[in-house]
Amino acid sequence: LGSGLPTADNVHQVAQRRVPDARVVYVDTDPQVLVHGRALLEENDRTRVVPVDVRDPEGIRNHPDTRELIDF
C-alpha cells in the first residue's frame, strides 16, 4: 500500500525488485495524482492507483481494483 504520486524508487519499484510478483495498490484522492499515477503505471499489471482516502481501509479493501489485484 502506498500513497501519493509514484516517482523514483517508490513502494512498487522496491517491492517488485525484491519480489517480482509483488502487488501494490496506491491510494490518493487528488485527481492530478490519480491521472499521473495511472499513466506512470499503465504497463505495470501488478500495481494499481485507486481513488480512496488512505484513512478509509474498508474503502481501499473493497475497491474493485484492489479486490482484483489482491486476494485478501
The predicted-structure confidence for 9-36, as pLDDT tens digits, reads as follows 888 999 999 999 999 999 999 999 999 9
For cell 479493501, name the residue.
Answer: 61
Q: What is the CA radius of gyration of the chain?
A: 11
What kind and span of H or E run contains 40?
A: helix 31-40
pLDDT digits (tens, 9 = 90+) for 41-63: 999 999 999 999 999 999 999 99
pTM, entire model: 0.86
Look-up of cell digits 500495481: 47
